[in-house]
Structure 1
Amino acid sequence: MYQILSKAKLADKIFEMVVRAPRVAHKCLPGQFIIAKIDETGERIPLTICDYDREEGTITIVFQTVGASTERMSFLEAGEAFEDFIGPLGRPSVLCLEENLDKTREKKIVFICGGVGTAPIYPQVKWLKEHGIPATVIMGSRNKDLLFYVDNMKEVAEHLYVCTDDGSYGFHGMGTNQLQALWDQGDRFDHCVAIGPMIMMKFVCKLTAELGIHTEVSMNPIMVDGTGMCGACRILVGDEVKFACVDGPEFDGHKVDWDAAMVRQQQYKTAEGRAMLALKEGKTHHGGCGNCGGDR
């Protein structure tokens, strides 16, 4: 059992939990994710690691209630526990690898996060700061009430720009509008990481392609099973079939077929849609990864 040490409500339907999972905390890196399961009948819920403390043996997760399983999860309180808390899974961010440090130091980096995408971006920016690498962060939200981790991000980002769609806080506009404004002012970036809703990442990539900024995106939002077996996170990257949970979750955003991914995401929500996808995709429908780790 994996005890919940603390729980906080960050915004409407957005919660933070700190969970004792020492083996996950010992091995994880920014960009990776865990799979949480409330009890033996619970659904497997893949969630990107928001923070970790190796000495304390804890993992911080942030989640939004979007269905029955995450709603059930939101009812858990400090002192209760998850039956399963598996990880770390997925590949770490390419920026947060010791072997890439020299190349990373040469980059001028901007992160763009939308909504709950703030959570997986935070550990990357924190890791970079710990290694002396500055980063600019653009945080976006529909309105002020849905913002979270603003103070946390201020502590780790060299420059932080907050924007809201309705203008209730910070810059009035979307993350792409803020990036364009910075570019027009002379700020030049050569590496972008964008994490948030699919439509947001699509339009960030459209802009960064025009500006010539290499862009990595996280496809964690489309994961369901988290092991490559269900086929939910199947995407086309260039001419190759990839699975977010096994091959990612981060990919070159300029190579992702966004239109196909969004159509597929909608189709996957129904039993008939899943059956049709399985028929059309044949042997490439399931990942069949065989690479899943676990807290062991």
Structure 2
Amino acid sequence: MFKIIKKENLAPNIYLMDVEAPRIARYALPGQFLIVRVDEEGERIPLTICDYDSEQGTVQIVFQVIGGETYRMSSLEVGDSFADMVGPLGKPSDLTELPIEELKKKKICFIAGGVGTAPVYCQLKWLKKMGVEVDCIQGARTKDIIILEKEMSEVSNLHICTDDGSYGIHGNVCVALQKLWDEGKRYDRVVAIGPMIMMKFVCQLTKQLGVETIVSMNPIMVDGTG
């Protein structure tokens, strides 16, 4: 059993949990995921690892309630346990495979949207630990649904934007990226994780700017299916 030791409601229908999973925490790397089941009758839910602590033996997950099974997950409390948790699965971010000195020379901008902030945070934290400085644009429709702002600001040069202008730069992540570019910022790579429509328009912009871009295909290619 995998005990929940922390639960936090980050925003409407978005939850964070720290779970005891020593073996997963020991081997996890940024970009990998795990699969959980609430109980023996539950569906297999793949979730990208948000954070891990090998010393404490814990992993952190962030999820949005969008259906029956994630609703059941949200009803679990501190002290409850998941029946199953398998991981770490999948290929880590290719950034973890590059020599550190080479990484330090690269100018990288991460773009996070919605719950895509969670997998971005894991990579940012690892890069910070390695001494690599990166920029990050975090976008949301409105201020109330921005998550992990404090944590993100501690591991990156954070630029927040909201569609309605209620916080940070007024506009979407493309507006923010173009603003940074116009101010003289130049990047070797952009990494975008978030809604498909967000990643689509980021790619259209970075193609014009001539910047290598990596996106996450999780929304249409569910982890753990083959």
TM-score (norm 2): 0.97
Q: Find the aligned partners of 1:222 and 1:49 in 2 and give their Cα distance.
A: 18
Counterpart amino acid of residue 136 in structure 2:
V
Counterparts of 1:220-239 in structure 2, within 5 Å, are 220-224=218-222, 226-228=224-226
Identity over aligned residues, as a percent? Answer: 58
Q: Displacement of 1:27 after TM fit?
A: 0.5
Q: Find the aligned partners of 1:96 and 1:33 in 2 and give their Cα distance.
A: 15
Q: Find the aligned partners of 1:225 and 1:167 in 2 and give their Cα distance.
A: 34
Partner deviation per Cα, 1:201-224 (whole Å, 9 max, x = no partner): 111111111111111111222344
Counterpart amino acid of residue 132 in structure 1:
G
Residues 1:20 and 2:20 aligned together: yes
- Residue 53 of structure 1 is matched in structure 2 by 53
Q: Displacement of 1:118 after TM fit?
A: 0.6
Counterpart amino acid of residue 19 in structure 2:
V
- Residue 121 of structure 1 is matched in structure 2 by 120
Q: Which runs of 5+ in 2 are unaligned?
A: none
Q: Over alpha carbons, which structure has the higher Rg? A: 1
Residues 1:101 and 2:100 aligned together: yes
- Residue 6 of structure 1 is matched in structure 2 by 6
- Residue 163 of structure 2 is matched in structure 1 by 165
Q: Find the aligned partners of 2:74 and 2:109 in 1 and give their Cα distance.
A: 32
Q: Which stretch shows the higher mean deviation, 71-80 or 212-221?
A: 212-221
Q: Which runs of 5+ in 1 are unaligned?
A: 229-296
- For residues 13 and 212 of structure 1, do their structure 2 counterparts lie closer, same or farther at Cα, with a shift above 3 Å needed? same
Report the number of matched residues: 226
Q: Find the aligned partners of 2:223 and 2:167 in 1 and give their Cα distance.
A: 36
Secondary structure, counterpart of 2:177 in structure 1: helix
Counterpart amino acid of residue 23 in structure 1:
R
Q: Find the aligned partners of 1:104 and 1:192 in 2 and give their Cα distance.
A: 14
Counterpart amino acid of residue 80 in structure 1:
D
Secondary structure, counterpart of 1:39 in structure 2: coil
- Residue 209 of structure 2 is matched in structure 1 by 211
Q: Find the aligned partners of 1:60 and 1:104 in 2 and give their Cα distance.
A: 26
Counterparts of 1:146-165 in structure 2, within 5 Å, are 146-157=145-156, 159-165=157-163
Q: Is the 8 A contact 1:95 1:101 kept in 2?
A: no
- Residue 177 of structure 2 is matched in structure 1 by 179
Q: Find the aligned partners of 1:186 and 1:220 in 2 and give their Cα distance.
A: 32
Secondary structure, counterpart of 1:220 in structure 2: coil
Q: Is the 8 A contact 1:48 1:220 kept in 2?
A: no
Q: Find the aligned partners of 2:189 and 2:92 in 1 and give their Cα distance.
A: 16
